Amino acid sequence: MAQEDFHAMAASLPDPFRLLLRENATSTNDELRLLAEAGAREGQILLAENQSAGRGRRGTAWFSSGGESLAFSILLRPQEPKALWPRLALASGLALAEAFGKIGVEALIKWPNDVWLQQRKVAGILVESGKDFVIIGIGINVNTLKFPPEVALSATSLQLAAGQPFSRADVLAAVIHQLPQRWAQIGNDFETLLEGVRLRCALTGHHVSLQTSSGQKTGWIEGISPGGELILRTTEGLETLMQADEIRFMPL
């Protein structure tokens, strides 16, 4: 896809969004952070065709195939208290799943910040905050058909799931138009946001193993708490989790 396709799409973005397109970047989150610290306005989007140091949560590498995927970051300057900013991960995940639904691909949320198609990861979200701003990094596998061996069994793309290619510019536009509605709900309307998350939660009702700050745990996922935490039932009872990694389905 030529850069002209993105430029044409950018003209239709709602305020305050503006698109900055780069052929190469180390990490869109890192480079947008520099722009934020220099005074860039809310709504700045930085999209890179190629990332040399893209990453996910916990510093894990993010595979991004040039010309086939989307790797971009968005600058926000939220009015809500900083303690609520982590909720933007859930809000963004829900918005992505809803945007994919609007282009004909039904997706689920793998709490807290991945989007799944057929139990495989199609998109990831990385939320990082600064003194008075938040950067939301998003990676979407759009038309990728082959993945590196280390993620080949756990990743998928919109094209693989739907059996047809998608315009990356159209996918980006669908996402950007959906995000503000959900971002606006991290404060007083958080319960409405959670209703949407619960409807699309891929983990609820499943027996899983996961890694927490206190070690590995195994149990049944009973849902999402009023605060957005994951509710896990173990042999010792119910507990809520703020963070968890390496969440895997377990055989019954």
Task: Return left, alpha or beta for 138; rule: phi > 0 is left, psi -120 to 50 is alpha, else beta.
Answer: beta
pLDDT at position 7: 86
pLDDT (tens digit, 9 = 90+) per residue, 103-153? 999 999 999 889 999 999 999 999 999 999 999 999 999 999 999 898 889
CATH of domain 207-249: 2.30.30.100
CATH of domain 3-199: 3.30.930.10
| From-to residues of CATH 2.30.30.100 in the chain | 207-249
pLDDT (tens digit, 9 = 90+) per residue, 49-100? 988 776 555 555 555 666 899 999 999 999 999 999 999 999 999 999 999 9
* Rounded Cα gap, residues 1 and 7, in angstroms: 11
Nearest to 132 by CA among 42, 210, 30: 42
* Cis? peptide before 112, omega within 30° of 0: yes
pTM for this prediction: 0.92
